[in-house]
Structure 1
Amino acid sequence: MGEKAHAHPGAAGGVPTAGHPSDVRNVVLVGHSGSGKTTLVEALALTAGAVNRAGRVEDGATVSDHDEIERRRRRSVQLSLVPVAWDGRKVNLLDTPGYADFVGELRAGLRAADAALFIVSAAQEAESVAATTRAVWEECALVGMPRAIVVTHLDTARTSFEEMTRICAETFGGDDPDAVLPLYLPVLGPEGADGHAPLTGLTGLLTRRILDYSSGERAELPPAPEEEGPLDEVRNRLIEGIIAESEDESLMDRYLDGGGEDIDMATLIGDLERAVARGTFFPVLAAAPAAEGARQGIGTVELLELITRGFPTPLERTPPTVTTPSGSPRSAPVCDPEGPLLAEVVKTSSDPYAGRISLVRVFSGTLRPDDTVHLCGHGLDAAGHEPHPCHEAELRVTALSTPFGRQQHPADRCVAGDLVCVGRLGEAETGDTLSASGDPILIEPWSTPDPLLPTAVRAHGKADEDKLSHALARLVAEDPTLRLEQNPDTHQVVLWCLGEAHQEVALERLRSRYGVQVDAEPHRVALRETFAGRAAGRGRHVKQSGGHGQFAICEIEVEPLPAGSGIEFVDKVVGGSVPRQFIPSVEKGVRAQAARGLAAGHPLVDVRVTLLDGKAHSVDSSDAAFQTAGALALREAASDARIQLLEPVCEVAVLVPDDYVGPVMSDLSGRRGRVVGTEQSPGGRTLVRAEVPETEIGSYALDLRSLTHGTGRFDRTHARFEAMPQQLAEKVRAERGDGSPGA
């Protein structure tokens, strides 16, 4: 890693293949939107020889060839895989979206990877180390995933690598900021009048050599004499950091006695590589895309060396937790190409020509075309919802391919530790498990946030109605962070999303990918109605015709019950005024009318309906007549009583940095919320618990993000129904119509 100038190895173009897990490196790129992840991937592909200076391989594919939505928005919205070759290794670069709405794609990338590159932009300074980036760093730390940091945009005016390194050490270093140290220092050219100083090279701290790119070719030079003093100061700190992580405890004594001069370079580099692979040391590097006329980007060779030599192989990864489909514990197979098959669908996408394509990470065994595999899928997602039932099937694998941009290159196999695309894999969904035929295994799903922003959708026209259901099912199968709800109370089809951009992309995919024109409409909250006091009603349904008539009369009394009681029906008829066989008919009519609603068309709850009296006819009375009479009696009782609207109340838990506790509590109070308590959480955060009407938090996912600059998150659960304030209830009734009881 930087001990000598590197020749220009790697693939001569095309897509590399891996013969063994030791030849694979799976790296996910994480960073805030605009930090330069995709540009860095393109620069690495150029340096590795996967593309030419125009960014293309022989068949014209480019790294940036993504779907139409990404090109139109100029923003990554999905996980993409770019495989390159370096030093005889296959490097799978997993480019993830940086926008918080697409964190599901990021989590999929983390599951598929064995190490992470955190990309921070010097142009954005402290803001580039965004809340979402810090949260992902903490997630990686919990599982011990190796990480490195790449600083981009150093060629922007008034940027500072030293300042960004300090910010990264404070943000990511935790209790040990000396574990976050640079391996190279940037070399800047003359500063122009606009304050712009171009990045022309790097100085290797361990080698004391300058890697100069100013001529368009990588040249190795000695530092100037006046640079040696400041260079040694930073170099000594790096050596101390490496020695602190070394397993050889004698190195520190040797360093203190001899100043590090008697420790050979190979020992230092070996200890550095092992510390990086263990996830205890996090090097900082600088990188920039290739300048005009240059054959490679600045820092890309050094970064590829770090990936291939410092990051772990799939053999060193702890396999994910697995169970049998019934949930019984099961030991996970090790990463062995000759072992039993264990693989997971980490991403599902649809191609207008190739159909459904599944990106698969193989954890054990070898996947080949024409293999028969067992597909097993989860019913519950990480939030406990059931977007689709559990499913299992025996499937035959058709073609395997390796992606490059929008192109797919045929593959004859995929060994343990590698990634591959599988076409037409039945009804496979993101998160499904592939295992050996006859030996079903289920991988525990990765965690995803609960989508909390609702949008109701309906087909634009009759032709779209037939396609909408299928398209929505496919959309949810591809994206586990989407949740589909068929609301039985409001009769709306609701798509729950993570944010506004996530919502817009989902609707755009319905239109462009599946050809379904949809209209978004406001999400309606399911309300309830109840009686505010006692009331009586008489239902009379008497009709005469040429044949049998209809005759049914019943008298009822309605009284409110405590919340959560539902509807209670009591029979107090004496003397047989309503024949026994028709009493269930009255109850059925009452319950049917209660379900349709009375004052504003919302279901009636928490009342006791008592049947007191009635009349019947020996010929004209019937089940249908008494059902109608029961419904009429309940509607008449409602016309003489005050009907109270009930709204759902949610228990809301908001986790925010301590600095935002006051604004968040004030905002919750403005939403008619009641704060019930606060709890201190690790990392200088506070958990605010409150009870808030659901009608007030429809857009809270967006409002909280704005209020806390993206640092807050919340969960909610239904608590109960409570009476809606009178003025709001009147507004709901006015929107309903004339306020008359529902028919």
Structure 2
Amino acid sequence: MGDRTSTHTGAAGRAPVADRPGSIRNVVLVGHSGAGKTTLVEALAQTSGALLRAGRVEDGTTVSDHDGIEHRQQRSVQLSLVPVEWDGVKVNLLDTPGYADFTGELRAGLRAADAALFVVSAADGVDGATRLVWEECAGVGMPRAIVVTHLEAPRADFEEMTDVCRRVFGGDDPDAVLPLYLPLHGDPPEGRPDGHAPVAGLVGLLSQRICDYSVGERAERDPDPEHLPLIAGARARLIEGIIAESEDETLMDRYLGGADVEVETLVRDLEKAVARGVFHPVLAAAPAAEGARQGLGTVELLELVTRGFPTPGEREVPPVTAPDGRPRPPLECDPDGPLAAEVIRTSSDPYVGRMSLVRVFSGTLRPDVPVHVCGHGLTDREGAPTGQPHDADERVGALTSPFGGQQRHLPKAVAGDLACVAKLSRAETGDTLSDRGDPLVMEPWVMPDPLLPVAVEAHARSDEDRLSQGLARLTAEDPTLRLEQNPDTRQLVLWCMGEAHRDVALERLRTRYGVRVDAVAHRVALRETFAERAAARGRHVKQSGGHGQYAVCEITVEPLPAGSGVEFADEVVGGAVPRQFIPSVEKGVRAQAARGVATGHPLVDVRVTLVDGKAHSVDSSDAAFQTAGALALREAAAGARIHLLEPVDEVRVTVADEYVGAVMSDLSGRRGRVVGTEQVPGGSTLVRAEVPQSEIGRYAVDLRSLSHGTGRFSRSFLRHEPVPRQVAERIRGEAESRVA
């Protein structure tokens, strides 16, 4: 890495093809929005030869061009794949969105990748969401490296940003996060008021060679005398950091004894430590200047990826089972093994139809071959499935490799590779593709819970017929969307990750499926109950010629403990109400309770007792006593105090310690009750609280702002509780206005 002049293969206009897992690297780029991930991908594509000068392929399009603005906007909110080739190695670059609302796309990228590049802007630093992803990668041992961008920004300081990365990412071992190169600044341009000099090259700390990019293409040379003091201290720290993570226990003794350690040995140990995920190098990169062929640091970064990051064969294949749950032997990343591939994401293209991005974990995927598609759904944080089980046989369409607006043909995709598969009409994100004669299901991966509810209605009558089909296809493509038909509020609710996610989903619904919807106020499922004992008579008597209607019933209503539902009791004596009509009274009472007695919300937690009544030998009937039972319940409510009940959720918030006070204060302001806190690893605190549902509709958005992206929460229904008087009056007023 930096100790030799690299050669590479790669040509614009053709797709890299891998024949074995050892010639593949799958790398996901992680970082906040604006850190420069997409720009870095384009710079790497240009340096590798996948792009011609000025970032254009042979047909004149750039890597981010497609059909104008819409596709470039999609790239900022969805996972995209850009394959390049370097030194005979196919590198699949997975560019993830930087917006927190699109965490599902990030999770897909992490599932498909074997290593991660964390892109950090020298101008903006490290945000809380990026730190959480780093901890998640650390938990599964994923190899990671850090790329510092935007070094041309005023007051950008590589050394200072490296120190920040060591504190944030290093944890208990900051010496595992160290730079491999130091930037060299040229002369500041004339007329620049801040005097900030551009970065013209890099100095390799191990090779002690200058990588000069000042002429637009990388050239190596010996350092000038004034560079040597700059190198000495950083080089010593890097060597000590590499030796500390070396598997050769004699290396430290040699080093401490004053012996020189060969550069080749250090590079070899560095590559092993990076591949094991115990050492995390820091590099600098910048896009090529106009007219230049190579961007600053892109050659060094491609060397690190191809030589230091693991091959797919070095990572474990996720466990598999048979569709009925029977265990199966572990798989290996073998092109000749059983086929096991997973749909990482699905999308609809207006020109080519449904496209599935697939990671092949075992076997070889070929076009025009029947496969078995099996899905038991992804899972949420609690391990519950987020989809319905389904099985089907389908024929694989064309295999392609995406590049900007192009889809380049692939003859096959071997174990460890990524490819786009056309026209898998029944495959959803998270589904497993396997041989028809040997169906398999891969262990599901965890997706974040959508926690922002958005109630939607068809914009016009012409949209109603297409609404359900459009929403079904939308949620099949994006597993972080959840559709709910609320039986209590009779609202169609789309659960999203945040406001940006909501806007993108509704826009896709309009542009892809021709369905226009309106977002309306989301309502929670309220209840009613009696606050005191009451008694009433229900009298339904009508005579208009012929058979009349006659039924009288007397009831008492008394409140019950929360969660009791509606109980019905019969205490009629003397046959005042004939036995055959008592079930009719109960039916009428329960029907009225379901409709509500005061504000139109279901009545719960009461015991209704039939104590007396009257019947007519001719005019009494089942329908008459149903009506009388309902009337009696309404009459009882008219003379009693009725409590409005609201749903209360148990909310569990995990947040960095410095924001605990702000979070607890905010929860109290939402009429919440904090019931406990506990420390969790990583300098965070778990806050448990009970909060009314009506107060946390936007909590997914508000918590992100309150905690600077470090907070996450879950919610689950707990119980219904009486609504405070002033809140109840407001709710009743809103209900009356809707009726009016």
Question: Which bin holds the TM-score, normalised by the shorter protein?
Answer: over 0.9
- C-alpha displacement of 1:617: 2.8
Q: Deviations over 1:510-530 (max 9, x none)?
A: 112221100001110110000
Distance 1:239 1:22, change over 3 A: same
Distance 2:258 2:430 in 1: 54
What secondary structure, in the 3-state scheme, does the structure 1 residue paired with 2:55 have? Answer: coil
Distance 2:84 2:500 in 1: 31
Which structure 2 residues correspond to residues 573-588 of structure 1 after superposition, within 5 A? Answer: 573-588=572-587
Counterpart code for 1:398: G
> SS of the residue aligned with 2:584?
helix
Q: What's the offset of the Cα at 1:167?
A: 0.9
- What is the aligned partner in structure 2 of residue 434 from structure 1? 433
Matched with 1:456 is 455
Q: Secondary structure at the match of 2:513?
A: coil
Deviations 1:425-456 (A, max 9, x none): 12211111112213222222222221111110
The reply on whether 1:530 has 2:532 as its aligned counterpart is no
- Tell me the SS of whatever aligns to 2:118: strand
Q: 1:380 to 1:416 in 2, by over 3 A?
A: closer
Q: 1:453, 1:634 → 2: CA distance?
A: 37
214-223 or 77-86: which moved more? 214-223
Answer whether contact 1:179 1:281 (CA < 8 A) is retained: yes
1:179 has 2:176 as partner = yes
Task: Using the TM superposition, give the Cα deviation of residue 283 of structure 1 relative to its aligned residue in structure 2, in angstroms.
Answer: 0.8
Question: 1:379 and 1:591 mapped to 2: Cα distance?
Answer: 37
The residue type paired with residue 147 of structure 1 is: R
C-alpha separation between the residues in 2 aligned to 1:404 and 1:130?
30
Aligned 8 A contact 2:216 2:295 in 1: no
Where in structure 2 are the equivalents of 1:393-542 lying within 5 Å? 393-542=392-541
Contact 1:14 1:57 in 2 (8 A): no
> CA separation in 2, counterparts of 1:517 and 1:423?
27
Q: CA deviation at 1:679?
A: 0.7
Q: Is the CA contact (8 Å cut-off) linking 2:54 and 2:290 kept in structure 1?
A: no
Does the CA contact (< 8 Å) of 1:381 and 1:480 recur in 2? no
Instruction: Find 1:373's aligned residue among 371, 374, 393.
Output: 371
Structure 2, gaps ≥5 residues long: none
Q: What is the distance in 1 between the residues matched to 2:541 and 2:378?
A: 52
Once the two structures are TM-superposed, the CA of residue 67 in structure 1 deviates from its matched residue by 7.4
Counterpart amino acid of 1:62? T
Deviation, 1:379, is 4.4
What is the aligned partner in structure 2 of residue 220 from structure 1?
Answer: 220
CA gap of 1:141–1:67, structure 2 versus 1, over 3 A, is farther
Distance 1:12 1:67, change over 3 A: closer
Task: Find the aligned partners of 2:86 and 2:528 in 1 and give their Cα distance.
Answer: 67
Q: Is the 8 A contact 1:158 1:195 kept in 2?
A: no
- Segment drifting more, 74-83 vs 273-282: 74-83
* Greater displacement, 191-200 / 47-56: 191-200
Distance verdict in 2 for CA 1:71–1:504, change over 3 Å: same
Q: Which residue is 1:167 aligned to?
A: 164
**Given that residues 101 and 499 in structure 2 are in contact (C-alpha distance below 8 angstroms), is that contact kept between their aligned partners in structure 1?**
yes
Instruction: Give the counterpart letter for 1:290 in structure 2.
Output: A
Report the equivalent of 1:649. Answer: 648
State how 1:597-636 maps to structure 2 within 5 Å. 597-636=596-635
The residue that corresponds to 1:36 in the other structure is: 36
Counterpart position of 2:141: 144
| CA RMSD after TM alignment | 1.9
C-alpha distance in 2, partners of 1:72/1:364?
33
SS, match of residue 486 in structure 1: strand
What is the CA distance between 1:227 and its match in structure 2?
1.4
- Which one is further off, 218-227 or 300-309? 218-227
Q: How does 1:317-328 map to 2 (within 5 A)?
A: 317-328=315-326
Structure 1 residue corresponding to 2:292, chosen from 266, 291, 294 = 294
Q: After superposition, give the CA deviation of every residue in 1:670-724 in whole Å (9 maximum; x if it has no partner).
A: 1111111111111221111111111111111112112111111111111111111
The alignment of Structure 1 onto Structure 2 pairs a total of residues equal to 736
SS at match of 1:513: helix
Does the CA-based 8 Å contact 1:70-1:77 persist in structure 2?
A: no
1:64 partnered with 2:61? no
Residue pairs, 1:94-243, within 5 angstroms: 94-124=94-124, 128-191=125-188, 192-243=192-243
Indicate the residue corresponding to 2:307 in structure 1.
309
1:272 to 270, 273, 276: 270
2:342 aligns with 344
Q: CA deviation at 1:545?
A: 3.8
Return the alpha-carbon distance in structure 1 between the equivalents of residues 535 and 75 of structure 2: 62
1:64/1:208 Cα in 2 relative to 1: closer, same or farther (>3 Å)?
A: same
State the shift of 1:75 in Å: 6.8
CA distance in 1 between counterparts of 2:75 and 2:343 reads 24
Q: In structure 2, how many angstroms separate the alpha carbons of the residues matched to 1:347 and 1:562?
A: 47
Bigger drift between 228-237 and 104-113 goes to: 228-237
SS in 2 for 1:329: coil
Does the Cα contact within 8 Å between 1:369 and 1:400 map onto a contact in 2?
yes
Q: Is the 8 A contact 1:211 1:221 kept in 2?
A: yes
The farther-off stretch of 558-567 and 197-206 is 197-206
The alpha-carbon deviation at position 738 of structure 1 amounts to 8.2
1:382 partner letter = D
Matched with 1:357 is 355
| Preserved CA contact (<8 Å) 2:15 2:409 | no
Percent identity at matched positions? 72
Query: 2:348, 2:357 → 1: CA distance?
Result: 11
In the alignment, the residues of structure 2 paired with residue 634 and residue 462 of structure 1 have an alpha-carbon distance, to the nearest angstrom, of 38
- Closer/same/farther in 2, CA of residues 63 and 553 from structure 1, 3 Å limit: same
Q: Secondary structure at the match of 1:727?
A: helix
Instruction: Give the stretch that moved more between structures: 246-255 or 315-324.
Output: 246-255
3-state SS of the aligned residue for 1:529? Answer: strand
Contact 2:18 2:417 in 1 (8 A): yes
CA contact (8 A) 2:452 2:498 kept: yes
Query: Which residue pairs with 2:568 in the alignment?
Result: 569
Do the aligned partners of residues 67 and 257 (structure 1) sit closer, same or farther apart at CA in structure 2, a change above 3 Å counting? farther
What secondary structure does 2:709 align onto? coil
Q: CA distance change for structure 1 residues 615 and 713 in 2, over 3 Å: closer, same or farther?
A: same
CA positional deviation for 1:158: 1.2
CA contact (8 A) 1:61 1:407 kept: no
CA distance in 2, matches of 1:686, 1:599: 43
Q: Does 1:79 align with 2:76?
A: no
2:163 counterpart SS class = helix
SS of structure 2 residue aligned to 1:737: helix
Q: CA deviation at 1:166?
A: 0.9
Distance 1:619 1:739, change over 3 A: farther
In structure 2, distance between residues paired with 1:68 and 1:518: 25
- Match in the other structure for 1:284: 282
Structure 1 residues 601 and 274: CA distance shift in structure 2, 3 A: same
Rounded Cα–Cα distance in structure 2 between residues aligned with 1:249 and 1:573: 90
Deviates more, 1:12-21 or 1:481-490: 12-21
Cα deviation digits, residues 196-234 of structure 1 (max 9, x gap): 321111111111111111112222121111211221221
Deviation at 1:71, TM superposition (A): 5.3
Paired residue secondary structure (2:721) = strand
